[in-house]
């Protein structure tokens, strides 16, 4: 069976838009930044108090620039990569492959980088910066080059593990009042059924999901996992191990609630395997996790072929990564609310302007300016930057 790869669709439905913007780069600059979160964010992995990222700035010969983001942690918990490994792989292997000769378009980036195994987040930051640049050069919003079909995206919100059930209810109430269209609760063994039951009692009608980040084991926690069926959940996200497809398939067979895979969807091939095995009924696409926009679009198209809905996840990104996520969330098979919240959900001050604002109907407007539609504020970049390095051909 031929796997749809999205190649025809990227570029707004034709081969001549995004794919054929010649790009001659004169420099690539990496910026390692650290930004404090408004409130700590706790999951089954642990607690995060700040966001680390490598911002990738690419500049072409005429002076236009594009931006991408590698959302990388200090330790390899969610993913194998860290900002230390990302910096090394970018400077040593990835950036030189992109600078060596003219690009015929952003779709060419993946072919130049594919020989380097793994390191998808590092690849994605570089690739997505070039997508932004290509969109700016073509005078079009990025979402149009990716084949997007809407000018607003539906926003959900992820709520980390709180100190108590009562604190959780308070946070959920606030987010519901703000207008978010889906509430996602982080869960783990020992922090699951009680808090879900309490939220469902207080909010019987809200679309509600849970995310375990791989914290459960099938042989130990099957009874608990089956009880999630009692709470009318939209989905259970990544209940089992990050590198598992087989046990997720076994679990899905005994659950009414759809399983959504996140960490297990590493690339197009694992996505295809997951769908053939029926390991899930929903897929969370994170462009950084799979290597960038081209691979994200290919997974989107594959899921559309299998009639599996998708949504776009987040990784606490700054406005750069958030703008890329919003562009991706305009694709036609994005059927569920996304983890792409307003700017003020995580940061008192973002590194970009303008801010992303949640509308009263729980949507966020898609920028209509060329590229990702936001600009990095130089003074803020300097404030949060820990290190910078420039490379030229």
**Residue 3 pLDDT > 80, yes or no?**
no
For 15, the token pair is 């081969």
In this structure, the chain runs to a length of 393
What superfamily does domain 25-139+378-391 belong to in CATH? Enolase-like, N-terminal domain (3.30.390.10)
Compute, in degrees rounded to 10, the torsion defined by CA atoms 46, 48, 51, 54: -20
pLDDT for position 333: 98
Could you give the CA distance from residue 248 to residue 216 in angstroms, rounded to a whole number? 11
Q: Average model confidence (pLDDT) for the chain?
A: 93
Give residue-wise pLDDT tens across range 323-347. Answer: 999 999 999 999 999 999 999 989 9
Question: Structure pTM?
Answer: 0.94
Tens digits of residue pLDDT in 265-315: 999 999 999 999 999 999 999 999 999 999 999 999 999 999 999 999 999
**What is the β-pairing status of strands 65-71 and 183-186?**
unpaired
pLDDT given for residue 22 in this prediction:
86
Q: What is the pLDDT of residue 39?
A: 87
pLDDT computed for residue 252 by the predictor? 98
In tens, the pLDDT along 17-72 reads 345 778 999 999 999 999 999 988 888 877 888 899 999 999 999 999 999 999 99
User: What sign does the CA torsion over 176, 182, 187, 192 have?
Assistant: positive
The Cα-based distances of 59 to 182, 318, 367 in angstroms read 38, 20, 21
Which pLDDT value is given to residue 46?
78
CATH number, domain 145-376: 3.20.20.120
**Share of residues in the chain with pLDDT > 90 (%):** 88
3-state secondary structure 293-345: HHHHHHHHHHHHHCCCCEEECCCCCCHHHHHHHHHHCCCCCECCCECCCCHHH
- Domain boundaries defined on the chain: 25-139+378-391, 145-376
Tokens of 240: 């089992």
25-139+378-391 and 145-376 in the same fold: no
The pLDDT of residue 9 is above 60: no
Indicate which residues carry an active-site annotation.
Answer: 186, 286
Integer Cα distance of 185 and 180 in angstroms: 13
Residue 384 has pLDDT above 50, yes or no: yes
Instruction: Give pLDDT, residue 12.
Output: 37
């Amino acid at each position: 069976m031929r796997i749809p790869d999205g190649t025809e669709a990227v570029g707004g439905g034709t081969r001549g838009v995004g794919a054929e913007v010649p790009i001659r780069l004169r420099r690539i600059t990496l910026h390692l930044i650290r930004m404090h979160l408004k409130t700590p964010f706790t999951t089954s992995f642990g607690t995060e108090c700040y966001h680390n990222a490598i911002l990738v700035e690419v500049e072409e010969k005429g002076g236009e620039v594009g931006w991408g983001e590698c959302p990388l942690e200090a330790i390899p918990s969610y993913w194998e990569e860290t900002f230390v490994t990302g910096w090394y792989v970018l400077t040593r292997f990835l950036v030189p492959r992109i600078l060596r000769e003219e690009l015929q378009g952003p779709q060419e980036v993946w072919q130049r980088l594919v020989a380097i195994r793994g390191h998808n987040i590092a690849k994605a930051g570089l690739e997505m910066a070039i997508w932004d640049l290509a969109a700016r050069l073509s005078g079009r919003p990025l979402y149009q080059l990716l084949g997007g079909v809407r000018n607003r995206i539906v926003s959900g919100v992820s709520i980390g593990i709180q100190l108590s059930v009562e604190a959780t209810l308070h946070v959920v109430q606030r987010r519901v009042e703000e207008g978010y269209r889906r509430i996602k609760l982080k869960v783990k063994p020992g922090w699951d059924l009680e808090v879900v039951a309490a939220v469902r009692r207080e909010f019987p009608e809200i679309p509600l999901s849970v995310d375990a980040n791989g914290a459960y084991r099938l042989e130990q926690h099957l009874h608990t996992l089956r009880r999630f069926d009692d709470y009318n959940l939209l989905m259970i996200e990544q209940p089992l191990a990050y590198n598992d497809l087989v046990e997720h398939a076994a679990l899905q067979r005994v659950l009414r609630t759809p399983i959504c895979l996140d960490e297990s969807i590493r690339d197009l091939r694992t996505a295809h395997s997951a769908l053939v095995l029926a390991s899930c009924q929903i897929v969370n696409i994170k462009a950084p996790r799979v290597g960038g926009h081209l691979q994200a679009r290919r997974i989107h198209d594959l899921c559309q072929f299998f009639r599996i809905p998708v949504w776009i996840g987040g990784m606490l990104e700054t406005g750069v990564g958030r703008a890329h996520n919003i562009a991706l969330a305009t694709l036609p098979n994005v059927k569920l609310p996304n983890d792409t919240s307003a700017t003020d959900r995580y940061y008192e001050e973002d590194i970009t302007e303008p801010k992303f604002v949640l509308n009263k109907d729980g949507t966020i407007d898609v920028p209509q300016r060329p590229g990702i539609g936001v600009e990095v504020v130089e003074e803020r970049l300097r404030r949060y930057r820990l290190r910078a390095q420039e490379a030229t051909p």
